[in-house]
């Protein structure tokens, strides 16, 4: 090989190749950040859906417990149970 060819190869390996690797690496990081954001959005949506389901269940339970018939049945049941006597 002549000196000109060696100089071109040194320039190629010293400057161009690292720039290519940096470009590939930053592109990879950008793609990973985008995927992470999409994953976080889907997780947020899943949590929001679960929260709404729990909220709906809680409203149903509140309606049952505050219902007059439920309270009356609880009082009747407590009267039916024999009183515990302390020893």
User: What's the CA gap between 24 and 35, in Å, rounded?
Assistant: 17
User: What's the CA gap between 56 and 46, in Å, rounded?
Assistant: 16
What local confidence, expressed as pLDDT, does residue 24 receive? 92
E strand intervals along 1-87: none
Low-confidence ranges of the chain (pLDDT < 50): none
User: What's the CA gap between 59 and 57, in Å, rounded?
Assistant: 5
The answer to whether 64 touches 70, Cβ cutoff 8 Å, is yes
What local confidence, expressed as pLDDT, does residue 50 receive? 95
> Which distant-in-sequence residues (6+ apart) come within 8 Å of 64 by Cβ?
70
pTM of the full structure: 0.43
């Amino acid at each position: 090989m002549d000196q000109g060819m060696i100089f071109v190869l040194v320039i190629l390996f010293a400057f161009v190749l690292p720039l290519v690797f940096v470009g590939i690496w930053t592109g990879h990081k950008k793609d990973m950040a985008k995927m992470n954001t999409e994953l976080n959005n889907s997780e947020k949506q899943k949590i929001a859906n679960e929260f709404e389901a729990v909220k709906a269940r809680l409203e149903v339970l509140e309606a049952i417990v505050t219902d007059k018939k439920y309270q009356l049945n609880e009082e009747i049941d407590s009267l039916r149970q024999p009183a515990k006597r302390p020893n």
